[in-house]
Amino acid sequence: MMPMLQALSWGLPLHPLVVSAHDKESAETLLGAAEFVVIFLAARLLAEVLVRLSLPTLIGELVAGVIIGASGLHLVLPPEIQTNISANLLHLVSGLSSVSKEVVDTVYSETAVKLASFAQVGLYALLFLTGLESDLNQLLKVGVRALSVATVGVVLPFAGGALGLIYLFDVPVIPAVFAGAALTATSIGITAKVFGELKYLKTSEGQTVIGAAVLDDILGIVILAVVAKLATGGSLAAAPILKLLLAAVAFVVVSLFLSRTAAPWFDRLVDALEAPGEKIVCGVIVLALGCFVATAIGLEAVLGAFAAGLVLSSSKHVHELTALTEPIVALFATLFFVMIGTGFDFSVINPLNPDNHSGLVMAGFLLAVAILGKMATGWAYWSKEKTNRLAVGLGMMPRGEVGLVFLALGGSTHVLSSNLEAAILLMVIGTTFLAPLLLRLVLPDTDGGDSKLVNAASS
């Protein structure tokens, strides 16, 4: 403090890193605003391109992150990346805020942490919305068939991915299990959108896939909660794993029970309130409580966010809650997907570098297991009626946003190597990109015309 006071009293120039709180706040505001503009502008431009190609917009958001992140322009970098932001951005913010580039660089580390926190909000909101959109009544209707499809869709990719990485690529057990868990995911949103566009959502196959995808989410997130705990220092002994698994299952079961019993209490509370915003505020309180309870009993907060959505999925206000949550997800989940892309090291998939060949082979292996493991689900149940089993398998294939949740948690625990992280990301992108294209080939057109592959895939 004394050197600063002396400089002020004697009229001497301040050290470049000694600035007023106002100037520092000004630099932080400018930097934060610039990054938000860059993030949402890049994400929106690429999402618009993807949606016009009838492809999932989250791929555009990922690519946007790659372009502006560590592998591209260095305009936005996650806090764990040990590299510098763009000199052009430093110069711009430094000039506008009248503080040195060194100070702006220091301020950036604080801004990056805040961006990561906003992205975390997007993750919780996304899983909350997934829980809200889980139609438990429909799940009961397709019951046994959906359960068999979901079980095969979890067991085959998980076992094939984890064991293959351990025995073929010498990957340590915990990272291999984490990667295997990432293979279990199924994106309800992407499949439902394609089925809906092709007027196939209400068919037997469509309902089976949606029901199985809900179960996949439940099983997959339970696995994620267990694996994430192991990755942060848990024991590989059977007893702690079993205890953790039982706690996760019990947590979900209680959430399903509360969706029938607690939702009416939620409805009465909301109906009694008169201040504006009562539905979304109460919904967020339930979301926060779910995260708190899950964390308090030693599970991951993401399981709590998903369970909170399940609890409110039977509320009479569920459609309004969903509509109110969607804009939050549109903003913060976009930030979440972009931030994943910003941390992606593109150099590890450069095929011209011989050191990357093993990682690319690993990525190819994971993609093959991801596709074949879900394709097998189409033949995982018995049915008397004619069934497009290929459509069922393809409908289970996209990992989408759920796969990215696994990847993000793997990255945050630092359990994944750069090669394995890149391999999982390529698997997520590959399955998310291929599934909508292939589904359009095997499903009837919206005008009622049959696809050439429909009859061949039906039995």
Does this model's pTM top 0.85? My answer is no
Which of 33, 42, 23, 1 is closest to 106 using CA atoms? 23
326 vs 88, higher pLDDT: 326
The domain locations on the chain are 20-117, 122-457
Least confident of 207-216, 323-332, 362-371, 418-427: 207-216
Q: How far apart are CA 324 and CA 329, in angstroms?
A: 9
For residues 391 and 451, the answer to whether their CB atoms sit within 8 Å is no
Q: How far apart are the first and last CA of the chain?
A: 80
For residues 391 and 205, the answer to whether their CB atoms sit within 8 Å is yes
Residues with Cβ within 8 Å of 2's Cβ and at least 6 positions away in sequence, in order, are none
Question: Is residue 349 scored above 50 in pLDDT?
Answer: yes
Structure tokens at 44: 């929106």
400 vs 181, higher pLDDT: 181
3-class SS of residue 273: coil
Q: How far apart are CA 441 and CA 396, in angstroms?
A: 15
Structure tokens at 225: 């909660």
210 vs 8, higher pLDDT: 210
122-457 maps to which CATH number? Answer: 1.20.1530.20
For residues 279-297, average pLDDT: 91
Structure tokens at 214: 């809900």
3-class SS of residue 18: coil
Structure tokens at 70: 């560590």
**Dihedrals phi, psi of 383, to nearest 5 degrees:** -145, 135
For residues 392-419, average pLDDT: 81
Q: How far apart are CA 422 and CA 175, in angstroms?
A: 13
Q: How far apart are CA 422 and CA 418, in angstroms?
A: 6
For residues 179-196, average pLDDT: 79
Highest mean pLDDT among 127-131, 198-202, 223-227: 127-131
For residues 406 and 186, the answer to whether their CB atoms sit within 8 Å is no
Question: Is residue 104 scored above 60 in pLDDT?
Answer: yes
